[in-house]
C-alpha cells in the first residue's frame, strides 16, 4: 500500500509540474517577445479543442485561446501576472491575448491566423488603448471591421494547475463569457465604419490557415 501511495504521489507531481524535457524549452522563453517567437513558430490550430500550455508545448500547435493561456503561463514564470483579455467581435471569431505590463505600459502576446493580430510592444497606457491597436487589423472575410468590445483582464493565477489540465481550459473559456466588458464604439460610429482596403486585407491574411478562418 505504501508503494502504491508513493507511485500515485510521484505521478501527480509529474502531472502538475514541468518535466526536465519541457523545461529545456521553457528556459529559453526569457522575455515576452521570445514567448511570442515560440508561438509564431508553432502551427495554427483550426480545431475546436482547447490545448493546455503543456499540450501546446508537446503538440506545437495552438489557436488564439491556447496561445494566450500558454503565454500567460510563461509570463507567470517570469514574474508577470498571468492575464488574458478576450477581444470580442461580431460576425467573426473573438481573439484572446495575454497582456503584460512593463514600466507601467501594456503590451500583448498572441497567436493568430491573421498577421496583424499578434505581438504588441509594451507602449500602451491602458488596456483599452492596447486593444484599439488591433482594431484596423481585426476584420472578417467580408472585409468588415468586426472588433466591438473587450473583457476586463482575467487573472489565471486563480486557476490551479491551469498550465497542465485540459479541463481547466474549459473553465477559463466559460469564464470569459461572463466577466465585464468595455464597448469600444457607439452605434453611430459602428454604422460609419468603412470596409478594409484590398492591400490591408491581403497583408493580414498572409500565411493564414484557410480552414481556421471564420466564414461570415
Domain that includes residue 136, residue range: 25-209
14 or 84: which carries more pLDDT confidence?
A: 84
**Residue 29 belongs to a domain:** yes
**Residue 181 belongs to a domain:** yes
Model confidence pLDDT, tens digit, residues 24-82? 999 999 999 999 999 999 999 999 999 999 999 999 999 999 999 999 999 999 999 99
Domain count, the chain: 1
pLDDT the model gives residue 1: 53
Model confidence pLDDT, tens digit, residues 148-206? 999 999 999 999 999 999 999 999 999 999 999 999 999 999 999 999 999 999 999 99
**Residue 6 belongs to a domain:** no
How does DSSP assign 120-178, residue by residue? EEEEESSHHHHHHTTGGG-B-TT--B-EEEEEPPEEGGGSTTTTT-HHHHHHHHHHTTT
Cα dihedral 82, 67, 55, 44, rounded to 10, equals 180
Global pTM value: 0.93
**Residue 141 belongs to a domain:** yes
**Residue 7 belongs to a domain:** no
Q: Which three cell numbers stand for residue 86?
A: 478576450
3-class secondary structure, 108:
strand
**Residue 199 belongs to a domain:** yes
Report whether pLDDT(12) > 70.
no
Nearest Cα neighbor of 35 from 66, 68, 74 is 74
**Residue 154 belongs to a domain:** yes
Beta bridge mates, 43 = 61
∠ CA 48-51-57, rounded to 5°: 140
Amino acid at each position: 500500500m505504501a508503494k502504491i501511495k508513493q507511485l500515485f504521489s510521484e505521478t501527480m507531481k509529474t502531472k502538475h509540474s514541468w518535466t526536465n524535457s519541457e523545461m529545456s524549452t521553457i528556459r529559453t522563453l526569457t522575455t515576452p517577445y521570445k514567448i511570442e517567437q515560440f508561438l509564431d513558430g508553432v502551427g495554427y490550430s483550426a480545431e475546436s479543442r482547447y490545448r493546455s500550455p503543456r499540450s501546446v508545448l508537446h503538440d506545437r500547435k495552438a489557436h488564439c485561446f491556447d496561445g494566450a493561456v500558454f503565454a500567460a503561463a510563461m509570463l507567470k514564470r517570469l514574474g508577470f501576472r498571468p492575464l488574458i483579455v478576450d477581444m470580442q467581435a461580431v460576425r467573426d471569431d473573438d481573439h484572446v491575448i495575454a497582456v503584460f505590463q512593463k514600466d507601467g505600459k501594456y503590451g500583448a502576446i498572441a497567436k493568430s491566423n491573421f498577421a496583424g493580430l499578434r505581438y504588441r510592444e509594451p507602449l500602451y497606457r491602458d488596456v483599452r488603448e492596447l486593444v484599439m491597436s488591433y482594431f484596423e487589423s481585426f476584420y472578417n472575410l467580408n472585409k468588415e471591421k468586426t472588433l466591438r468590445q473587450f473583457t476586463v483582464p482575467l487573472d489565471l493565477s486563480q486557476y490551479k494547475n491551469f498550465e497542465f489540465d485540459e479541463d481547466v481550459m474549459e473553465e477559463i473559456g466559460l469564464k470569459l463569457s461572463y466577466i465585464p466588458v468595455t464597448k469600444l464604439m457607439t452605434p453611430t460610429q459602428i454604422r460609419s465604419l468603412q470596409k478594409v482596403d484590398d492591400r490591408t486585407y491581403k497583408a493580414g491574411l498572409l500565411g493564414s490557415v484557410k480552414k481556421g478562418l471564420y466564414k461570415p
